[in-house]
Structure 1
Amino acid sequence: MALATLHIMALLLLIFLLLIIWQQSERRRRLPPGPGTLPIIGNMHQMIWNKPAVFRWIHRLLEEMNTNIMCLRLGGTHVIVVTCPKIAREVLRKNDEVLASRPATFASGSFSFGYKGSIFSPYGKQWKKMRQVLTCEILTSSMEQRLRHLRSEECNHLVRYIKNMARPNNFVDVRYVAQHFCCNVIRRLVFGKRYFSDDIPASSTSGPGHDEVAHVAALFTALNHLYSFCVSDYFPALVGLDLEGHEMVCKNVMRVLNRFHDPIIEERIRERSTTLGNGGEKKEARDFLDVLVYLEDADGQPLLTLEEIRAQTMEMMFATIDNPSNAVEWALAEMMNKPEVLQKAIDELDIVVGKDRLVEESDIPHLNYLKSCIREAFRLHPYHALNLPHVATADTTIASYTVPKDSHVILSRIGLGRNPKIWNEPLEFWPERHLNTGNVLLSEPGLRFVSFSSGRRGCPGISLGTSVTMMLFARMLQGFTWTKPPGIERINLQEGNASLALAEPLVLHAKPRLAAHLYI
Structure 2
Amino acid sequence: MIIFFLFFMSIFYLVSFLLNKLTDSKLRPPLPPGPTPLPYVGSIISMLQNKPTFRWIHRMMDQMNTKILCIRLGNVHVIAVSDPDIAVEFLKDKDWIFSSRPDTMSGYLTSGGYLDTVLAPMGDHWKKMRKILSREILSVARHKWLLNKRSEEDENILRYINNQCSSNHKAAKKLINVRILAQQYTTNMVRKLIFGSRYFGKGSQDGGPGEEEIEHADSLWTILAYIHAFCVTDYFPLLRWITDFDGHEKIIRNAIVTARKYQDPLIDERIQQWKDGLRTEQDDLLDVLITLENTRLTADEIKAQILDLIVGGFDNVSNNIEWAMAEMIKEPRIFDKAIRELDFVVGKNRLVQESDLQNLNYIKSCAKEAFRLHPVAAFNVPHVTTVDSIVAGYFIPKGSHVLVSRLGLGRNPDVWDDSLTFNPDRHMNGDKEVMLTDHKLHVFSFSTGRRECPAVLLGSTMTTMLLARLVQGFTWEFPFNESRDDLKENFHDLAKAKPLLALAKPRLTNHLYPSG
Which band: TM-score by shorter chain? over 0.9
Q: How does 1:359-438 map to 2 (within 5 A)?
A: 359-437=352-430, 438=432
Alignment partner, residue 505 of structure 1: 499
Match of 2:266 among 264, 267, 279: 264
Q: For residue 467 of structure 1, what is the amino acid of its counterpart?
A: T
CA deviation after TM superposition for structure 1 residue 28, in Å = 5.6
CA deviation after TM superposition for structure 1 residue 21, in Å = 7.4
Q: How does 1:152-163 map to 2 (within 5 A)?
A: 152-163=151-162
Q: How does 1:31-50 map to 2 (within 5 A)?
A: 31-50=31-50
The separation in 1 between residues aligned to 2:380 and 2:20, in whole angstroms, is 34
Q: For residue 510 of structure 2, what is the amino acid of its counterpart?
A: A
The separation in 1 between residues aligned to 2:394 and 2:499, in whole angstroms, is 42
Maintained 8 Å contact 1:418/1:426 = yes
Match of 1:295 among 292, 298, 323: 292
> Kindly, what percent of the aligned residue pairs are identical?
46
Q: For residue 459 of structure 1, what is the amino acid of its counterpart?
A: C
Secondary structure (helix, strand or coil) at the match of 2:99 reads coil
Say whether residues 1:483 and 2:477 are aligned partners.
yes
Structure 2 gaps of 5+ residues are: 1-9
Alignment partner, residue 183 of structure 1: 187
Distance 1:188 1:48, change over 3 A: same
Which stretch has the larger CA shift, 19-28 or 347-356?
A: 19-28
The separation in 2 between residues aligned to 1:210 and 1:129, in whole angstroms, is 36
CA deviation after TM superposition for structure 1 residue 516, in Å = 0.9
Alignment partner, residue 4 of structure 1: none
Maintained 8 Å contact 2:203/2:211 = no
Say whether residues 1:93 and 2:95 are aligned partners.
no
The separation in 1 between residues aligned to 2:209 and 2:152, in whole angstroms, is 15
The separation in 2 between residues aligned to 1:381 and 1:137, in whole angstroms, is 32
Maintained 8 Å contact 1:157/1:205 = no
CA deviation after TM superposition for structure 1 residue 487, in Å = 2.9
Q: How does 1:274-313 map to 2 (within 5 A)?
A: 274-275=276-277, 282-283=280-281, 285-297=282-294, 303-313=296-306
Q: For residue 232 of structure 1, what is the amino acid of its counterpart?
A: T
The separation in 2 between residues aligned to 1:360 and 1:205, in whole angstroms, is 25
The separation in 1 between residues aligned to 2:315 and 2:203, in whole angstroms, is 25
Alignment partner, residue 239 of structure 1: 240
CA deviation after TM superposition for structure 1 residue 130, in Å = 0.5
The separation in 2 between residues aligned to 1:206 and 1:375, in whole angstroms, is 30
Maintained 8 Å contact 1:184/1:194 = yes
Q: For residue 511 of structure 2, what is the amino acid of its counterpart?
A: H
* Deviation per residue, 1:176-228 (Å, 9 max, x gap): 0101100100100011011112x569xx8611000001111111111111111
Q: How does 1:58-207 map to 2 (within 5 A)?
A: 58-166=57-165, 167=168, 168=171, 170-197=174-201, 206-207=207-208
CA deviation after TM superposition for structure 1 residue 27, in Å = 6.7
Distance 1:105 1:274, change over 3 A: same
Maintained 8 Å contact 1:172/1:509 = yes
CA deviation after TM superposition for structure 1 residue 258, in Å = 1.3
CA deviation after TM superposition for structure 1 residue 170, in Å = 4.0
Secondary structure (helix, strand or coil) at the match of 1:286 reads coil
The separation in 2 between residues aligned to 1:25 and 1:229, in whole angstroms, is 32
Alignment partner, residue 458 of structure 2: 464
Secondary structure (helix, strand or coil) at the match of 2:484 reads coil
Maintained 8 Å contact 1:19/1:39 = no
Secondary structure (helix, strand or coil) at the match of 1:171 reads strand
Q: For residue 210 of structure 2, what is the amino acid of its counterpart?
A: G
The separation in 1 between residues aligned to 2:66 and 2:138, in whole angstroms, is 38
The separation in 2 between residues aligned to 1:82 and 1:221, in whole angstroms, is 26
Maintained 8 Å contact 1:333/1:491 = no
Secondary structure (helix, strand or coil) at the match of 2:152 reads helix
Q: State the superposition RMSD in angstroms.
A: 2.2
* Deviation per residue, 1:447-504 (Å, 9 max, x gap): 1121000111001111101111111111111111001111334141111010111101
Distance 1:44 1:141, change over 3 A: same
Structure 1 gaps of 5+ residues are: 1-10
Would you say how many aligned residue pairs link Structure 1 and Structure 2? Answer: 495
